[in-house]
Each structure stands twice: as C-alpha cells, then as structure tokens.
Amino acid sequence: MSHDSQIKNDILAEIERVKKMDSIIEPRWVANAIMEKYFKGMDVSEEIEIVKYLAFNECRRQVAKLISKRLDINGSDKREMVLPGFEHLQTHYEVKRDGEWCGVPINLLSQQELLLKAKELKKMGNTCFKHAQEIEAYAARMEAANDG
C-alpha cells in the first residue's frame, strides 16, 4: 500500500473514531492524531520541526477534504449518515467554526447553525431545480434542431 493510501486510511479511521464518539470532527485535532502516529518518538531538531509543520498543514488540508467527502450524503452510505427515524436528517453536518470547516454532530449544532444549514440546503435545492430546467430546455432545443 502506498504512503498516500495508508495516510488516507488512517485519516478516515480517525474521522470514523471521532464520529462514533459523537464528537466534533475538527481538522486540526484529526491532523494532530495522525501526526502523533507518524512522528511519535522522533528526535527533536529544527529540521524535524520544519518537516512536521509542512506535514501537519498538508495533513490538515487532506483531513478537511475527507471530512467533506465523508459527510456528503450523496457520496456516502445514506443509511449510516441519516439520523434514525428520519429520511434525510444527518447525524453530522459540515459547518464553519473559527474559520475552519468541521464535522459537527447535529445535537451539538446551535439553533443558528441548524437554520443556516436549512437555508443553504433550500438554496441548493432551488439551484439544482433551475439547473435541471436548463438541461431540459437544452435537450428540447437539441431535439428541435435535429428534427428541423
């Protein structure tokens, strides 16, 4: 297994561990856990600190991308992401806190965050509906051009 695959698997495992604890999936915390695994026991030197700094920033970037993918209900196993008793309500949502996107359990979201997420989803739905209408209009135009 390549290093990229191993690190990605480690990140996903840490995201799942935190998610199962019903905790906030904070990119910095996940990245710190991964860094601890790979740098534990290394001697401290200026060079190692520079490598750790660069590795941490890249790891945090990868974590943020994987949180987004993991919490994307369209790209996940829907049954695992939906709150029991609901058809669409997710157990976790991605929200911006302290300038960083985090995966937050629904029970830890504020009223304001919940309403903002609902507004965002309604806007996305409206945009998707309009997009679908444009595709249908384009298809109709193409059909009319082929018939003429």
What CA dihedral angle connects 35, 41, 46 and 48, to 10 degrees? -50
In tens, the pLDDT along 95-140 reads 989 888 899 999 999 999 999 999 999 999 999 999 999 999 999 9
Shared domain for 47 and 115, answered yes or no, is: no
Shared domain for 96 and 129, answered yes or no, is: no
In tens, the pLDDT along 66-102 reads 988 877 755 555 556 788 888 889 889 999 898 888 9
Shared domain for 99 and 127, answered yes or no, is: no
pLDDT confidence of residue 87: 87
Shared domain for 73 and 86, answered yes or no, is: yes
pLDDT confidence of residue 143: 93
Q: Look at 13-17, 26-30, 71-75 and tell me which has the smallest mean pLDDT.
A: 71-75
Number of domains into which the chain is organized: 2
Structural domain range at position 81: 3-106
Shared domain for 98 and 115, answered yes or no, is: no
Shared domain for 11 and 75, answered yes or no, is: yes
Shared domain for 71 and 114, answered yes or no, is: no
Shared domain for 9 and 75, answered yes or no, is: yes
In tens, the pLDDT along 34-66 reads 999 999 888 888 888 999 999 999 999 999 889
Cα 95 vs. chain centroid, distance in angstroms? 9
Shared domain for 36 and 100, answered yes or no, is: yes
pLDDT confidence of residue 74: 58
Give one DSSP letter per residue of 105-144, joined into a string: EGGGS-HHHHHHHHHHHHHHHHHHHHHHHHHHHHHHHHHH
The whole-model pTM stands at 0.70
Shared domain for 126 and 142, answered yes or no, is: yes
Shared domain for 128 and 98, answered yes or no, is: no
pLDDT confidence of residue 73: 58
pLDDT confidence of residue 14: 93
CB 30 within 8 A of CB 18: yes
Shared domain for 122 and 82, answered yes or no, is: no
Taking the C-alpha atoms of residue 95 and residue 97, their distance in angstroms, rounded to an integer, is: 6
